[in-house]
Amino acid sequence: MANPDLADITMLESASIRAVIAALDHSPIKLVLVVDDSDRLTATVTDGDVRRGLLGGRKLEDSVSTIARREFIAVGEKTRSNERDEKLRAFEIDYLPVLDSNGRVVGLHSGAKRPSQEVKPNTVVIMAGGLGMRLRPMTKTVPKPMLPLAGKPMLEHVVEGLRDEGFRDIVLSINYLGHKIEHHFGDGSTLGVNISYLAEEKPLGTGGALSLLTGDFTAPIVVMNGDVLMAAKVSDIVGYHVANGAEITVGVKVLETQIPYGVVSLEGARIVGIEEKPTYSDYVNAGVYVIDPAVLPEIPKGERFDMPDMLTSRIGTTKALAFPMHESWIDIGRPVDFDRAQQSYQAGKE
Residue type present at position 28? P
Closest CA to 33 of 5, 1, 62, 61: 5
180 is catalytic: no
Query: Positive or negative, the Cα torsion across 300, 188, 290, 331?
Result: negative
Closest CA to 127 of 32, 222, 50, 46: 222
The string of DSSP codes covering 287-328 is EEEEE-GGGGGGSPTTS---HHHHHGGGTTSTTEEEEEE-S-
| φ/ψ (deg, to 5) at 133 | -60, -35
Catalytic position from the list 277, 301, 319, 349: 277
| φ/ψ (deg, to 5) at 140 | -70, -35
Q: How far is it, in rounded angstroms, from Cα 331 to Cα 343?
A: 14
Residue 25: CB partners within 8 Å, gap ≥ 6?
A: 231, 326, 327, 328
Residues carrying an active site annotation: 277
